[in-house]
Amino acid sequence: MPSILILNGPNLNLLGTRQPEVYGRTTLADIEAMCRAHASTHGLSLEFEQSNHEGALIEAIHAARGLHGGIILNAGAYTHSSVALMDAISSAEVPTIELHLSNVHARESFRHRSFIAKVALGVICGFGAQGYILAIDAMRGHLERTE
Ligand code: CA2
């Protein structure tokens, strides 16, 4: 089974430390530990990254080609603005799941638009940290079916 890249965008390094009413008290390090524990029960290898920089996220997507079987991407606010990330996903041709902790559709209207969704395999949102586990399972199923 190919490995999975879990890529986190801007401000997600602050998880668990600010706005707990919106994003909960779980830190990104807690989420990484949950993902690693879950992946190991399925014999999956994971890479887990976070960057506040659009260019660094684009480079991580480019580098995933040939290295990872799939990408789980929480692009944070870049989801709603970045044509460059959308183009990176299209050009890398690595299956990508768009992920959000919050239910973006129940929030401000500017969060309803996603450039990532246009090129994603699917979208998971609104399940908090558990969404990362759901996304790993969805990607695992996809990779098993397409292997
Ligand atoms: O719900 C999500 O996962 C989001 O991707 C989070 C982004 C937001 O812009 C998207 O619309 C939805 C924001 C991440 C900011 O994370 C923070 C965490 C703690 C404190 C402040 C910001």
| Domain boundaries along the sequence of the chain | 4-146
pLDDT tens track for 100-146: 999 999 999 999 999 999 999 999 999 999 999 999 999 999 999 99
Q: Is the CB of 15 under 6 A from ligand 1?
A: yes
pLDDT digits (tens, 9 = 90+) for 46-79: 999 999 999 999 999 999 999 999 999 999 999 9
Q: What is the pLDDT of residue 8?
A: 99
> 4-146: which CATH number, 3.20.20.450, 3.40.50.620, 3.40.50.970, 3.40.50.9100?
3.40.50.9100
Class of residue 141 by CB neighbours under 10 A (exposed 0-12, middle 13-18, buried 19+): exposed
* 23 included as an active-site residue: yes
Going across the sheet that includes 96-100, the strands are: 46-50, 4-8, 70-74, 96-100, 122-125
Q: Is 112 a catalytic residue?
A: no
Q: In the chain, what's the furthest Cα-to-Cα distance?
A: 41
Catalytic residue among 53, 62, 80, 100: 100
pLDDT at 147 over 90: no
Q: Which residues contact 73 (CB under 8 A, 6 or more apart)?
A: 7, 9, 61, 85, 89, 96, 97, 98, 99, 116, 120
CB count within 10 Å of CB 107 equals 14
Contact 133, 101 (CB under 8 A): no
State the pLDDT at residue 24: 85
Nearest atom in ligand 1 to the alpha carbon of residue 99 is 3
Q: How confident is the model at residue 95 (pLDDT cuts 50, 70, 90)?
A: very high
